[in-house]
Structure 1
Amino acid sequence: MGEWFTKEIADTGRLRLFCFLVAFIAAFLFIRFSVRMIRRQVRWWPGNVTPGGQHVHHVVFGLVFMCVGGVGGLAITDGSSGWAAAAAALFGAGAALVLDEFALVLHLEDVYWSEQGRLSVEVVFITVALCGLLLLGLRPLGVDDVVEEGGSSGGGLWNVAFVLLFDLCVSVVALLKGKIWTGLIGLFVGVLALVGAIRLARPDSLWARHRYPAGSRKERRARIRERRYRRPIERLGNAVGDLVAGRPSTKD
């Protein structure tokens, strides 16, 4: 195990990313456990931080951790040192605390346990997935592979520019069609973004609102596909999210 870690993580320059991701996941699981204990009013668990009666949300602590970890990481020149790993871990823990209250920050109101609060859990899951892909050695838009191929031919620069632009465009189209997972993962696996860009948009997406007139054939097909395929996937995703993060309240 130690040999694998050294070869695949430390020697490839991914130590800080590894520490960031581990701390991110650990901090998210801890804070979700904490808020669930507070929600149940468990006596043996410390309650909210309320100095002078003011409830301090954990996003505040997350911002402090991110500032300290981020500035510390910039100040450390040796990216393979223990201090660099510690700074990355602190930044990851802070990012988890911030993104866990992403919906609260977005709406500027406490929607943590509402249906709107599910957005925070989804953002956290997306972040874990993207960092996991980076840790596996994948790069957005396949930059490393494309640059290597382009450098070996005379017209390589234009080939690189075309491939990167094409991959970026199809990912953006997929995102505009409301396919967040497909568009973001497609930045790493281009074929997913291409499929998402070709297929029908989700009915409430920006693309559908501007290109699928109400009552049109495409609009009807999009809503049928949403009910038939997307809704079951959403219910499964919500079930997993509720298992990890807790079920939202029936009332906001």
Structure 2
Amino acid sequence: MIHDGRLPMSLAFASLLLTFLVTRTITRLIRAGRGPFHNIGSGGVHIHHVVPGIVLALIGGFLAVGSGEYLVARSIAGVLLGIGAGLVLDEFGMIVHLSDVYWTEQGRISIEATVLATAAVGLAASGFVPFDATPDGHTLDDLVAWSIVLLLDVVMAAITFAKGKVGTGVIGVFIPIVNIVAGIRLARPGSPWARRYYRDKPRRLRRATARAARRDARWKPIRRRFEDTIAGRLVAAPAPMPVAPNPEPRARREVDGARHTWRRERAGSG
């Protein structure tokens, strides 16, 4: 039985996950030329599903803000927000790169963003909300303890993000012990933390690089198989559009040359 206070969040979680899975299934069928599905366009313009996703997310968000304590309205808002978020996150890579990278390596960021968002919403729906228990009505000691825990959670989450562990940082916001462990361990090479604090410590940088290489060798093939299962196989990234040379300088030179020739001929005839 779902608690009434968590029902809207649970509906948002289910809507997000189901929308993403259904959308990926439909796009893969369209790509394979199977089924009754096809791309939607208007006036020769392909309408990506991120467009209705933004509209639904906005409607759901404003409805949630204005619904007050009405459980039915909040539940409807949760469904609309979940559907909209699922459509938007499915094309998150296109938003980041401002290019149609849906089936390319750059587009795999959509899978990562969706997994992180789904994990965060799922944890919130399950009751792992670190900022839910407010200290109102408690003693001063309770207020101090709550503030210290909150501050520690925020600081350790910031350190984890700075160390290049985005996924761990998101999970750690809801389960603080995860960020405490991740914040103590070595940063990933290339992260802001490594650039700032490992610059003059080559030994620590070598350890971080070796640890990251071992981790990637172990988990990257598994992650790749998971992404291929969800998103389909990759295609080569689209080649950048060739930039046409600016004809203006050449045209100006031709005009200047013709003008110079005309002046010489005029001076010679005079």
| Smaller-chain TM-score bracket | 0.7 to 0.9
Structure 2 match to 1:99: 89
Give the aligned length.
238
Match status 1:108 vs 2:85: no
Name structure 1 gaps, 5 residues minimum.
Answer: none
Deviation by residue 1:134-176 (Cα, 9 ceiling, x = unmatched): 11111136x52x738x924x33333322221112101110111
Distance 1:71 1:238 in 2: 37
Distance 2:50 2:60 in 1: 15
Q: Which runs of 4+ in 1 moved over 6 A?
A: none
Contact 2:171 2:178 (C-alpha < 8 Å) held by counterparts: yes
Distance 1:108 1:214 in 2: 37
Distance 1:163 1:215 in 2: 32
Match status 1:139 vs 2:136: no
Structure 2 match to 1:37: 29
Distance 1:233 1:161 in 2: 36
- The two structures, once aligned, show a CA RMSD in angstroms of 2.0
Q: 1:192 aligns with which of 159, 172, 178?
A: 178
Structure 1 match to 2:15: 23
Identity of aligned residues (%): 36
Distance 2:14 2:148 in 1: 36
Q: Measure how far apart 1:198 and its partner are.
A: 0.7
Deviation by residue 1:82-124 (Cα, 9 ceiling, x = unmatched): x432222111101110111111111111111111111111110
Contact 2:101 2:237 (C-alpha < 8 Å) held by counterparts: no
Name structure 2 gaps, 5 residues minimum.
Answer: 239-270
Any residues of structure 2 matched to 1:1-252 within 5 Å, and which? 4=1, 8-10=2-4, 13-42=5-34, 44-81=35-72, 83-140=73-130, 144=133, 147=135, 151-152=138-139, 154-213=140-199, 216-252=202-238
Contact 1:9 1:18 (C-alpha < 8 Å) held by counterparts: no
Secondary structure class of the residue paired with 1:226: helix
> What amino acid maps onto 1:80 in structure 2?
L
> What amino acid maps onto 1:151 in structure 2?
H
Q: Measure how far apart 1:214 and its partner are.
A: 7.6
Distance 1:189 1:24 in 2: 21
Q: Measure how far apart 1:248 and its partner are.
A: 2.1
Q: Relative to structure 1, is the Cα distance of residues 171 and 75 closer, same or farther in structure 2, using a 3 angstrom cutoff?
A: closer
> What amino acid maps onto 1:103 in structure 2?
G
Distance 2:49 2:174 in 1: 32
> What amino acid maps onto 1:57 in structure 2?
H
Which TM-score applies when normalising by structure 1? 0.87
Distance 1:118 1:62 in 2: 19
Q: Larger Rg: 1 or 2?
A: 2
